[in-house]
Amino acid sequence: MSAYAGTGPMSAESLASGAPRPALGAPASGAPAFDAPLPLPRPAPGAPASAAPAPRTIRRLRSAALPVGVAALDGLVVNAVHAGPVLWGALAAAGALVLRRRQPELALAAGIPGLYLGHLAFAPLIALYFLAVHRRSAAPGAVGAVLVALAQFLPLPLGDVTLLRLDHDTVLDALDSCALGVGAFVLGRSARCRRERLREITESRERENRLLAQHTLATERARLAREMHDVVAHKVSLISLQAGVLQVTEPGARAVRETAGVIRDLSVDTLTELQHLVGVLRADGGNTGDLAPQPRLADLGRLVEESALPVELHLGDLGDLAGPLPEAVERAAYRTVQEALTNVRKHAPGARAEVRVGPDGGRLHVEVRNTAADGSAVAPELPAGGNGLVGLRERAQLLGGSFTSAPLPGGGFLVRAEYPV
């Protein structure tokens, strides 16, 4: 006959209310864990910081005292019915529960004798639960479950099988003992699996957040790189061109003063636009679009005048559009013309260019074509990063448009872009 009749339902309820604390500080769901730390008292208003209790110390004390107190109370209740060494065994098993996290094997070994001494199931079941939770391998917990089941089932004296009878009560006792051991083990392994799953989910989300942050940073850097290229390359190429003119101009001539004035104006414009870009880089969140230069199609006339190239500008009637032109599209069209004229100065000095911008079929068309280079002109020595046309293509794709660039028969070059409006 079992040494602990009717233990099955009691232990099942005890363990059901002892769900493990979620890993990584996640709040518990469902029933509270039997060793969950209680809420900490807040220090009184105006009290010094030293008056507040140490949270970690109190948490540890309460976490250790709760299961130990439950196991000790179990021994006191049983001792009221079964006097003798039961109380001392219960106290020893309860005290060993302090080691349930670091040394759950020792806590279980100290609690198993209580199953022989009397109705002392709380301490070994709690120790078995923590053994299943805190060990990576399931083998120690499985062995502990077998030992708990055997200790619960075998009668006194130890292992005296002559007292066993194959009857209805014996079968129920065997099933009850197996349910206790296996139940505590399964609950512990389930808690460990849940904790590991939560850890994996948290790590996965952290990786996703890092990748998203890296992608956002790369996208922003690419945008700023395109903006820096578009703003600076055009102005610097003009400065270089005017400086070359200044070199071949006779000293003291009026043209020297005019060219120097142009260089000064271009330098001031370039510095102003760089200051705008620095403001974008220093902006802390929010919409930084207002800090960046916002050229519009109405500025194309000035752009052509500053290009120092023979350019024919054909600007269509934007009033034919169904609504106002999106700012992003207008800006992209301006940058396309700006980059194309910059490339003409770099690679086809002395060439003539033709710029056409206008709506057609619900889309804004931008086309810049130039003739072959004039052999009498010398191209300014400017570095070519090779990213200008790539940046224009990326702009068009981001806006849902298209971009093409190709050489023309006879040595010219064509740049064409279309943007949805």
Task: Output the pLDDT for position 129.
Answer: 84
Give percent above pLDDT 90 in the chain. Answer: 10
Q: Categorize the per-residue pLDDT at 33 as very low, low, confident or very high, splitting at 50, 70 and 90.
A: very low
- pLDDT averaged over the chain? 70
DSSP state of 316: -
Give percent above pLDDT 70 in the chain. Answer: 52
Highest average pLDDT, of 158-172, 233-247, 330-344, comes from: 330-344
Residue 213 to residue 369: CA distance in whole angstroms: 40
243-247, 310-314, 386-390: which range is least confident on average? 243-247
Task: Output the pLDDT for position 392.
Answer: 87
254-258, 286-290, 337-341, 391-395: which range is least confident on average? 286-290
Residue 168 to residue 166: CA distance in whole angstroms: 7
The string of pLDDT tens digits covering residues 263-306 is: 767 776 776 666 666 666 655 544 544 444 567 888 899 888 88
pTM beyond cutoff 0.95: no
CB 371 within 8 A of CB 351: yes
Residue 51 identity: A
Whether the pLDDT of residue 405 is over 90: the answer is yes
Q: Compute the average pLDDT of residues 66-79.
A: 57
The residues near 36 (Cβ < 8 Å, ≥ 6 apart) are: 21, 28, 63
Q: Compute the average pLDDT of residues 48-77.
A: 57
**CATH number among 3.40.30.10, 3.90.180.10, 3.40.640.10, 3.30.565.10, domain 297-421:** 3.30.565.10
The string of pLDDT tens digits covering residues 340-354 is: 998 888 888 888 999
Q: Can you list the pairs that 80-87 forms with residues at least 24 positions away whose Cβ atoms lie under 8 Å?
A: 82/118, 82/119, 84/117, 85/117, 86/114, 86/117, 86/118, 86/120
Q: Compute the average pLDDT of residues 334-341.
A: 90
Task: Output the pLDDT for position 368.
Answer: 95
132-136, 206-210, 353-357, 369-373: which range is least confident on average? 132-136
Task: Output the pLDDT for position 123.
Answer: 74
Residue 292 to residue 328: CA distance in whole angstroms: 12
Q: Compute the average pLDDT of residues 231-254.
A: 66
Task: Output the pLDDT for position 177.
Answer: 74
Specify the 3-state DSSP secondary structure of 314.
strand
Residue 339 to residue 336: CA distance in whole angstroms: 5
The string of pLDDT tens digits covering residues 148-159 is: 777 776 655 444
Residue 287 to residue 347: CA distance in whole angstroms: 37
Task: Output the pLDDT for position 366.
Answer: 95
Q: Categorize the per-residue pLDDT at 309 as very low, low, confident or very high, splitting at 50, 70 and 90.
A: confident
27-31, 84-88, 257-261, 357-361: which range is least confident on average? 27-31
* Residue among 144, 92, 139, 100 nearest 118 (CA): 92
Highest average pLDDT, of 83-87, 207-211, 277-281, 376-380, comes from: 207-211
Q: Can you list the pairs that 382-390 forms with residues at least 24 positions away whose Cβ atoms lie under 8 Å?
A: 382/236, 382/237, 382/240, 382/346, 384/346, 385/229, 387/225, 387/226, 387/229, 388/229, 388/230, 388/233, 388/339, 388/342, 388/343, 389/339, 389/343, 389/415
Residue 318 to residue 304: CA distance in whole angstroms: 19
What are the phi and psi torsion angles at 368 (to 5°)?
Answer: -130, 120
Q: Categorize the per-residue pLDDT at 134 as very low, low, confident or very high, splitting at 50, 70 and 90.
A: confident
Of residues 195 and 75, which shows the higher confidence score? 195
Q: Categorize the per-residue pLDDT at 417 as very low, low, confident or very high, splitting at 50, 70 and 90.
A: very high
Highest average pLDDT, of 74-83, 208-217, 320-329, 409-418, comes from: 409-418
Q: Compute the average pLDDT of residues 161-177.
A: 66
Task: Output the pLDDT for position 12.
Answer: 35
CB 23 within 8 A of CB 195: yes
CATH 3.30.565.10 domain position(s) in the chain: 297-421
Of residues 121 and 334, which shows the higher confidence score? 334
Specify the 3-state DSSP secondary structure of 44.
coil
* Residue among 142, 154, 155 nearest 181 (CA): 142
Q: Categorize the per-residue pLDDT at 18 as very low, low, confident or very high, splitting at 50, 70 and 90.
A: very low
Whether the pLDDT of residue 41 is over 50: the answer is no
Of residues 372 and 8, which shows the higher confidence score? 372
Q: How many CA atoms lie within 13 A of 303 on its CB side?
A: 24
Whether the pLDDT of residue 23 is over 70: the answer is no
Instruction: Report the run of H or E that residue 89 belongs to, with start and end.
Output: helix 86-96
